[in-house]
Every structure is written in C-alpha cells, then in structure tokens.
Amino acid sequence: MTTHPYKRMIRIVSFDYGHAPAPEAEITLDLRRRFRNPHHDPQMRQRAGLDDDVYAHALDTPGLRDLAAVTALAAHDLAHTIPGPITIACGCVDGRHRSVAVARHIAEILADGCAAIVIAHRDVHRPLLDATIHGATAERHLT
C-alpha cells in the first residue's frame, strides 16, 4: 500500500502469543479466550484467516465484528489526535485464524481513505502450537 504524505498511517499486526511477546501497540486485542477458535475444526486447523472461509467462520463469532468496528473507530480517532503512526495488534493462540481475520476486517473497515493502512501477519507462517495450549474443548469453539 502506498503511503500518502497527507494521510496518517495505521499499522495492523496479527500475531500469536505462543512464539513471542505481543508487539508494542496503541491498541492490543487479546482474542484467545472469548471467540470461536477455527483451530478446533480439523478442516481449518492448518489454514489461516487469509482463506475466505476461515475468515468468514471467525467473523461469524458473536461480537467479533463489533469488536473490529469499535477498534477501527478508536484507531481512526487516535490517528487524528496523536502524532506518528498508530499500531493495532491482534493476537490469538497460533496467530493464524482469529487474529488474522480480525486484522483483515479492521483493515477493510479503515480502507475508506482516512489513513494509509499497513497490515502484517507476523506469525501466520509459524508452526501450529500444541493442541493443549488451546485450552478449551472443540465443542465450545465450534458453536
């Protein structure tokens, strides 16, 4: 994405909590406990929120679209009130499902031209973490 000199920059980073600490950010979303985890679906486990069906599955979780919209609104406000780029960090267990989907959705909401948007998926390429780290049962997260 091209950065225009008159626009503010909002950087959106998806990440996992299992391989490295959260990146420094003005807004950090911890998506590990409250939202459906596509990891528990064997057909989605090895894939990522970059895939449209995984993206849609994650965003169908009640409350997730609202969280993304509120986050985008807050980032838009911050981008026009404090100097320098704004970073939004979206984290989940593996950094490939929920965090990627939410980062994508926030970027889509902000794509109206209010700021230059840069999106990075820090950990989407890393190996999956052990299933026991995911904690909750598959049944809880597939509904």
Q: Compute the residue count for the chain.
A: 143
Helical pair 98-110 and 64-79, crossing angle rounded to 10 deg: 50
| pLDDT block averages, 10 residues each, the chain of length 143 | 62 92 95 79 79 90 93 91 93 89 94 85 84 50 41
Confidence at residue 112, expressed as pLDDT on a 0 to 100 scale: 76
Confidence at residue 3, expressed as pLDDT on a 0 to 100 scale: 46
Give the closest residue to 14 by CA, choosing from 57, 58, 53: 58
Confidence at residue 142, expressed as pLDDT on a 0 to 100 scale: 41
CA distances from 129 to 73, 95, 96 (A): 32, 10, 11
Confidence at residue 66, expressed as pLDDT on a 0 to 100 scale: 94
Confidence at residue 103, expressed as pLDDT on a 0 to 100 scale: 96
Confidence at residue 36, expressed as pLDDT on a 0 to 100 scale: 75
